[in-house]
Amino acid sequence: MRVERHYASGLPLVPLDESLCEQAFLNLVQNAYEAMQDEDGGGTLRVEVQLITQNGREGVELRLADTGPGVPEELREEIFNPFVTTKKTGVGLGLSIVSKIVDGHHGSIHVENAPRGGAVFAIFFPLDETAEALKRVLGRARLQSCRKSLPF
Ligand SMILES: Nc1ncnc2c1ncn2[C@@H]1O[C@H](COP(=O)(O)OP(=O)(O)OP(=O)(O)O)[C@@H](O)[C@H]1O
Ligand SMILES: [Mg+2]
């Protein structure tokens, strides 16, 4: 699998739980890897991180775009629920865990298919609320930078 990184420069630090977010990103990367297994060279995973405003909230968006077959339209709502899987040996827990972790950061996640095919998972971490919410739950000590916790 080839990985292309496109990280915007001058990104702000995002307060988040490093180990939970690493778990979430790994689940997404694992899914992308599995979706592209039949491709020559294992396909390409494009990772983008940029500052955006969503519904009037400023935050950092992480987009993971793969070159696999994409997520069928009729499954798009369901895949974040536990035990939804199309894999022979899948449990269907990966994305439900991702979704819980993103919720815990007051963020949002959605999936779309790229015009040329392939799934695109987009996670939004708001800058305002996450800091306050996480400080309450974890205390300052565990607040980490988003960029540091990216496992690729
Ligand atoms: N990148 C992707 N491309 C295409 N389909 C995907 C992708 N990621 C997830 N899916 C679909 O969503 C389903 C649910 O994914 P999820 O990670 O929750 O479970 P799983 O990968 O099937 O099993 P587990 O993660 O528990 O091993 C998958 O079975 C697959 O159908
Ligand atoms: Mg999975």
pLDDT digits (tens, 9 = 90+) for 20-51: 999 999 999 999 999 999 998 899 999 999 99
Distances (CA, A) of 149 to 31, 36, 64, 94, 116: 19, 24, 15, 19, 30
- Tell me which DSSP letter residue 13 carries: P
Is the predicted pLDDT of residue 146 greater than 50, yes or no? no
Q: Which residues have a beta carbon within 5 Å of ligand 2, which is an ion?
A: 31, 94
In this prediction, residue 138 carries a pLDDT of 58
Torsion, Cα 5 49 111 23, to 10 degrees, reads: 80
Instruction: Give yes or no for a contact between 152 and 12, defined as CB atoms under 8 angstroms apart.
Output: no
How many helical (H) and strand (E) elements, i.e. helices and strands, does the chain have? Answer: 4, 7
Distances (CA, A) of 68 to 8, 41, 99, 114: 25, 12, 21, 10
Q: Kindly list the protein residues whose Cβ atom lies closer than 6 A to any atom of ligand 1.
A: 27, 31-32, 35, 66, 68, 70-71, 79, 84-87, 90-96, 119
Domains along the sequence of the chain with CATH: 2-144 (3.30.565.10)
> Closest residue (by CA) to atom 25 of ligand 1?
94
Percentage of the chain lying above the pLDDT 70 cut: 84
In this prediction, residue 13 carries a pLDDT of 85
Angstrom distance (rounded) from CA 45 to CA 150: 14
Angstrom distance (rounded) from CA 68 to CA 53: 28
Is the predicted pLDDT of residue 132 greater than 70, yes or no? no
Q: Using the mean position of ligand 2's atoms as its centre, give its distance from the Cα of residue 93 in Å.
A: 7
